[in-house]
Chains A and B, each alone.
Chain A
Amino acid sequence: MQSEYVLELSNIRKAYGENVVLNGVSLAVKPGEIHALLGENGAGKSTLMNILFGMTMIHETGGYEGTVKISGEEVSFTSPNDALSAGIGMVHQEFMLIPGFTITENIKLGREDTLPTVLSHLFGKSLERLDHAKMDSDARKSLDAIGMGIEEHTRIMGLPVGYMQFVEIAREIDKLGIKLLVFDEPTAVLTESEASQLLDVMKSIADKGIAIIFISHRLSEIMTAAHGMTVLRDGELVATKPVVETSVTEIAELMVGRSIDNLGIAQEETFAGKPVALSIRDLHVDMPGEAVRGVTFDVHEGEIFGIGGMAGQGKVGVANGISGLFPADGSVEVFGERLDLLKLGDALDKGLAFVSEDRRGVGLLLEESIAHNIMFRVMATRQDFLSSFGFAKLLDAGKMNKHAQDMVELLDIRCHGYRQKVGTLSGGNQQKVCLAAALTMKPRLLIVSEPTRGIDIGAKELILNYLTKLRKEEGLTVIMISSELAELRSLCDRVAIVSDGKIVSILSPNASDAEYGLAMSAIAPADPDNEKGGVQ
């Protein structure tokens, strides 16, 4: 008798060096079940799937602990091919299709049906010819199974995005003996109607007895399609429940809720009466992977304004658009002055400093010294740190070094001295250099994007404390963009949650976990005015 589960993961633990990314996670899926896997970015979903598929990077970094069972048999995949032959398939978020090939050819790629020829008798199987008839009929069967009426000879090139997704699925279910399919955020790139069609397809696949692991952060989809669900948070298993026994609010709470006590929650303070420091109206930013589609908000002087949301939803795009790094459209006013979004460096000229999320790519000159990095932007935009030398103005090394030394001490930048190249510093210290450079601009408005990404706890604390201190002592207005909700809530006066390029809601740091969770899943909280209107 076989096990009742297709897949059983038990007590999975995985660490990269000393960083534990998964701890004691278990997951079991029955045949025909659609099982939702939920969690914020970095909760460990991808790592869990990588373990399941035997991705090489898992083994290169020391393997994992715990057991993986397929249909009751313990397995340990060492390559994705092992997983595929055991009947596990994956529908990728980015399509793995060849545009110039037909749908049939894409479905059958690598598993072509062939007929023997004269040459193949002599030289082996690689010279057999393709059995087009059989391939076409197989492809047809798979396409029909998911209710896709399209001609199987059509080339992929030029198909709508939704169709490509369906071809991916057709390819997976065409594989013989497929038992389990993983859908990784399959609806992220689809329109609403395509998404609902996809959910129907998933249900019909499940009805055929194939188990599905469904990764999504759109909670409404999970409520409609999934049977069971598992929530991960910070690498730990939070809950496993049948979907019928839970609600959107509860799932949201489970995903977000965390030991806020560590960081605390910011004192609520209202800035509504204060003058407006930054006024944004209908901002659109064309940043690949972080598109912003119409964002409107005001930030008041002295406020710390947070922007949160899942990766790829556009929160980072807001900052990059304002700073003029990506093409943007809309109205942005800084202290009443209109920014020219198309003019390079206009934001810098108007007293706005930006600490980019891409430290090494945008934030620093890695081959230059700490001192050079700290003074460079001020030198370039305001001609500071220069001294007259005959007819020319040259770098004032004395002033640069003195200022750098001050900054190194102030922000506790751990280095051999301000002459050290920033490329050799640790992430946290590089971030401090970025911050020092931004502060050297003496900005009136500071935008920090992902200030604590990839840095150690000590540096994290120092940077966060310093931002609070600056606001308190110098009345600096700060916009902080972060994937870490807890961080935003510990620091900010208000937190805007962005999803799909738009602001879902602007929340108080005291708002409940559920409210945050729902906003992250693009479900706006019921607006009291609307509710009244609804009653009438």
Chain B
Amino acid sequence: MSSLSEAKAEQPSILHTVQKAAADFGLPRVIILTTFIMLFVLAGIFNMNLPSFFGDVLRRWGMWGILVLAMVPSIQSGIGPNFGITVGILGGMLGAVLSIEMRSAGVFDFITNATMFGISTAMAAIVLGVFFASIMGALYGMLLNRVKGSEMAVSVYVGFSALAIFNIVWALIPVRTSTLILPATGSGLRQMINLTDDFGGAFDGLFRFQIGDMTVRLGLLSVFFVCCLLMWLFMRSRLGMMMSAAGSNPAYARASGINVDRMRILGTTISTALGAVGIIIYAQSFGFLQMYNAPQFYGFTVVASVLIGGATVKRARIFDVLLGAFLFNGILTIALPLANVMMPDVPGVPEMLRLIITNGIILYALSKAKGGR
């Protein structure tokens, strides 16, 4: 009798522990992780080339990683997920265009080694991109300080507006390089700029090796990991810790003598600068620089990625970036060929899946943002 009641008393406690563990890990992460594994198993059942897929997942992980990492400083400094990462991406695109002009003007001609040539042009694009993005990021941060409480909505529109302004810039910018110019009109930039002569594959080609059918682009991943490491170190510096405190509890930060507004501008600037780095790394892997409206919804993709990784709109860790970027891209990479095999007559399934995951996860995070903890 007594043992029975003891067993009864114990049962809910075990259930409770399991529930608590699940809650800590987060329902969306559980769902996404299960979907990922399920897709992987399905791909195996359909006799598809799993190692090759996995190589692609790794590649897309590296491509998107730095853009996702850009969410960390913005979330930590208190402005929330940076939907306006487009601003940084535009800065990076401007840097890339200038780097290409420099290359065609012969600035890099003294470098004879092809690998070094690629990396140098990429670095030039990154330095210039970070420069422009930092200026725009600081202004953007000042704007966000004036709209406290509705940063997320404002950042979406800042991204859209900046994109429209830069569309004019792209159409009017006077360039001489033939790979940049739109052939039909003879002026203005192309939609897709081929980077073969510039930094296309600059890091992807570095330390690249095969394991069976799986290609590992160690150069690309190294760049991503180094950025993550630097960000992790920054978060442990005095400035980084002060920035996090300003985001996590502004009143506390003020009482510690920290200028909260300045920390928010710092966070926005770093995030925007990382956006510039991120798009150049993305473009070199893709082989093309996509201009005009191409980056319009990148903000949503990267915000969704970091949220899947377990970040909230108030707290984000480097681990969330690594996990989130991997899961999000993993699902999309495998879903595409799988959908072609399973539903050959229905077009655009992966795109639907992408929209559902992206917007669903953002919606989930926003619904948790208020009244939660």
Interface residues, chain A, with chain B CB atoms under 8 Å away: 323-325, 344-346, 348-349, 354, 356, 358, 361-368, 376-377, 379-381, 383, 386, 389, 392-395
Q: Indicate with 1 or 0, residue by residue over B232-244, a CB within 8 angstroms of chain A CB atoms.
A: 0100111001100
Q: Please, could you name 5 A-B residue pairs with CB atoms under 8 Å apart, sorted by A?
A: A349-B257, A380-B258, A381-B256, A393-B237, A395-B236
Q: Find residues 233-266 in chain B having any chain A CB closer than 8 Å to their own CB.
A: 233, 236-238, 241-242, 245, 248-249, 251-252, 254-259
Bound-state CA distance A381–B238 (Å) is: 10
Bound-state CA distance A323–B241 (Å) is: 22
Determine if B315 is an interface residue (Cβ-Cβ < 8 Å): yes
Q: Is B236 a contact partner of A344 (Cβ separation < 8 A)?
A: no
Which residues does chain B contribute within 8 Å of A325, judged by CB atoms?
251, 254-255
How far, in Å, is B233 (CB) from chain A's closest CB? 6
Neighbour of B257 across the interface among A345, A361, A365, CB < 8 A: A345
Bound-state CA distance A118–B245 (Å) is: 64
Q: Is B237 a contact partner of A365 (Cβ separation < 8 A)?
A: no
How far, in Å, is A431 (CB) from chain B's closest CB? 15
Which residues does chain A contribute within 8 Å of B245, judged by CB atoms?
365, 376, 380
Q: Is A383 a contact partner of B255 (Cβ separation < 8 A)?
A: no
Q: Is B257 a contact partner of A395 (Cβ separation < 8 A)?
A: no
Instruction: Answer whether A376 and B256 are a contact pair too, CB < 8 Å, given A365-B245, A365-B248, A368-B248.
Output: yes
Which residues does chain B contribute within 8 Å of A377, judged by CB atoms?
256
Q: What are the 9 A-B residue pairs with the smallest beta carbon separation, nearest first?
A: A345-B257, A395-B236, A362-B251, A394-B236, A377-B256, A380-B256, A348-B257, A362-B255, A361-B251
How far, in Å, is B141 (CB) from chain A's closest CB? 18
**For the side of the interface on B, what is the size category?**
10 to 19
Bound-state CA distance A292–B308 (Å) is: 48
Total A-B pairs, Cβ < 8 A:
68
Q: Is A379 a contact partner of B252 (Cβ separation < 8 A)?
A: no
Which residues does chain A contribute within 8 Å of B258, judged by CB atoms?
344-345, 380
Q: Is B252 a contact partner of A344 (Cβ separation < 8 A)?
A: no
Which residues does chain A contribute within 8 Å of B238, judged by CB atoms?
379-380, 383, 386, 393
Q: Is B251 a contact partner of A389 (Cβ separation < 8 A)?
A: no
Interface of A (DSSP majority class): mixed
Q: Is A380 a contact partner of B257 (Cβ separation < 8 A)?
A: yes
Which residues does chain B contribute within 8 Å of A368, judged by CB atoms?
248
Which residues does chain B contribute within 8 Å of A348, judged by CB atoms?
256-257
Which residues does chain B contribute within 8 Å of A389, judged by CB atoms?
233
How far, in Å, is B18 (CB) from chain A's closest CB? 20
Bound-state CA distance A393–B237 (Å) is: 6
How far, in Å, is B318 (CB) from chain A's closest CB? 15
Bound-state CA distance A349–B258 (Å) is: 12
How far, in Å, is B227 (CB) from chain A's closest CB? 15
Bound-state CA distance A361–B368 (Å) is: 20
- The closest CB in chain B to the CB of A366 belongs to B249
Bound-state CA distance A356–B242 (Å) is: 19
Neighbour of A395 across the interface among B241, B248, B259, B315, CB < 8 A: B241
Q: Is B242 a contact partner of A358 (Cβ separation < 8 A)?
A: no
- The closest CB in chain B to the CB of A320 belongs to B255
- The closest CB in chain A to the CB of B249 belongs to A365
Neighbour of B248 across the interface among A349, A367, A383, CB < 8 A: A367
- The closest CB in chain B to the CB of A345 belongs to B257
Which residues does chain B contribute within 8 Å of A354, judged by CB atoms?
255
Instruction: Answer whether A323 and B255 are a contact pair too, CB < 8 Å, given A376-B245, A380-B242, A394-B236.
Output: yes
- The closest CB in chain B to the CB of A348 belongs to B257
Q: Is A394 a contact partner of B233 (Cβ separation < 8 A)?
A: yes
Q: Is A394 a contact partner of B237 (Cβ separation < 8 A)?
A: yes
- The closest CB in chain B to the CB of A396 belongs to B236
- The closest CB in chain B to the CB of A354 belongs to B255
Bound-state CA distance A393–B236 (Å) is: 9
- The closest CB in chain B to the CB of A423 belongs to B373
How far, in Å, is B20 (CB) from chain A's closest CB? 13
Q: Is B241 a contact partner of A380 (Cβ separation < 8 A)?
A: yes
How far, in Å, is B274 (CB) from chain A's closest CB? 18
Q: Is A395 a contact partner of B251 (Cβ separation < 8 A)?
A: no
Bound-state CA distance A240–B67 (Å) is: 71
How far, in Å, is A374 (CB) from chain B's closest CB? 13
Bound-state CA distance A394–B254 (Å) is: 22
Which residues does chain A contribute within 8 Å of B256, judged by CB atoms?
345, 348, 376-377, 380-381
Q: Is B252 a contact partner of A364 (Cβ separation < 8 A)?
A: yes
Bound-state CA distance A344–B262 (Å) is: 12
Q: Is A381 a contact partner of B249 (Cβ separation < 8 A)?
A: no
Bound-state CA distance A109–B252 (Å) is: 43
- The closest CB in chain B to the CB of A375 belongs to B241
How far, in Å, is A347 (CB) from chain B's closest CB? 8
Q: Is B252 a contact partner of A362 (Cβ separation < 8 A)?
A: yes
Which residues does chain A contribute within 8 Å of B254, judged by CB atoms?
325, 344
Q: Is A356 a contact partner of B255 (Cβ separation < 8 A)?
A: yes
- The closest CB in chain B to the CB of A377 belongs to B256
Given A365-B249, A366-B249, 10 new contacts (CB under 8 A): A345-B257, A366-B248, A380-B238, A381-B257, A386-B238, A393-B238, A394-B233, A394-B236, A394-B237, A395-B237
Q: Is A363 a contact partner of B252 (Cβ separation < 8 A)?
A: yes
Which residues does chain A contribute within 8 Å of B315, judged by CB atoms?
367
Bound-state CA distance A264–B280 (Å) is: 71
Neighbour of B252 across the interface among A349, A365, A394, CB < 8 A: A365
Bound-state CA distance A348–B252 (Å) is: 13
Instruction: Answer whether A379 and B233 are a contact pair too, CB < 8 Å, given A365-B249, A365-B252.
Output: no
How far, in Å, is B302 (CB) from chain A's closest CB? 23
Which residues does chain A contribute within 8 Å of B237, judged by CB atoms?
386, 392-395
Bound-state CA distance A368–B235 (Å) is: 13
Q: Is A379 a contact partner of B241 (Cβ separation < 8 A)?
A: yes
Which residues does chain B contribute within 8 Å of A349, judged by CB atoms?
257
Bound-state CA distance A363–B253 (Å) is: 9
Which residues does chain B contribute within 8 Å of A379, judged by CB atoms?
238, 241
- The closest CB in chain B to the CB of A380 belongs to B256
Bound-state CA distance A389–B258 (Å) is: 23
Bound-state CA distance A333–B256 (Å) is: 20
How far, in Å, is B50 (CB) from chain A's closest CB? 39
Bound-state CA distance A394–B251 (Å) is: 24
Bound-state CA distance A377–B258 (Å) is: 10
Which residues does chain A contribute within 8 Å of B242, judged by CB atoms?
380
How far, in Å, is A440 (CB) from chain B's closest CB? 12
